[in-house]
Amino acid sequence: MRTILLRRLLLIGPLATALGASCARSRTLSPDEQAQWTRDSLDYERRLARWIYDSTAIDSVVSSIPTDSLAHLYARMLASDTPEQELQLISCEQVRIGVQYGSEPMVWVSEHVRDSVYQAAGGAVVARMRRRMPRTGRVSGSACPKMEGAPVTITPGGTRLDVILRRPRPPKRP
């Protein structure tokens, strides 16, 4: 008898909670609350559309970045007896990409290339490389060769490429 009651509670409890939560949200808003909710929703839709546009623009920039040298450096780092030297070279290549294409595309492409090379190599190879890496050290962009030309930070559509792009959050219902 106890187990049957317990089973019913386990089955009905989440359903009752979900029904109670949905009923609590369906209260009628005052005219001021409804106006604020409408403004917040419209603002969210505008920010979301801009985020989608910017994400698409950044994605198109990322797809145009040549990544063969970065992938080669990551592969060399996995096989090297002194991976910290390759890490410095990777840092320099990331600085070059960041100056030429913007910091946000650099982050996207660097993460993608690193993950692709690491996945192809396998977890054991990556773990061995990490064990060869010194516990402390310093990687510096100032150790890289001087970059020529002005940095590209804005695309024709006005998308900033030098800031972190985060998806906007929907407004909370009052």
| Residue pLDDT, tens place only, 137-150 | 777 667 777 766 66
Residue 155 forms part of a structural domain = no
Q: The domain containing residue 82 runs over which residues?
A: 60-143
The per-residue pLDDT of the chain, averaged, comes to 78
Residue 128 forms part of a structural domain = yes
Residue 41 forms part of a structural domain = no
User: What pLDDT, in 10s, does the model give residues 89-129?
Assistant: 999 999 888 888 888 889 889 999 999 999 999 999 999 99
The length of the chain is 174
> What is the total count of domains within the chain?
1
* CA dihedral for 51, 54, 56, 58, sign (positive or negative): negative
Which pLDDT value is given to residue 90?
92
Residue 45 forms part of a structural domain = no
Q: Is 160 helix (H, G, I), strand (E, B) or coil?
A: strand
Residue 148 forms part of a structural domain = no
Which pLDDT value is given to residue 118?
95
Neighbours of 173 (CB within 10 A): 12
Report the distance separating Cα 124 and Cα 12, nearest Å: 47
| The model scores a pTM over 0.95 | no
Report DSSP state, residue 26: T
Residue 95 forms part of a structural domain = yes
Residue 150 forms part of a structural domain = no
Residue 107 forms part of a structural domain = yes
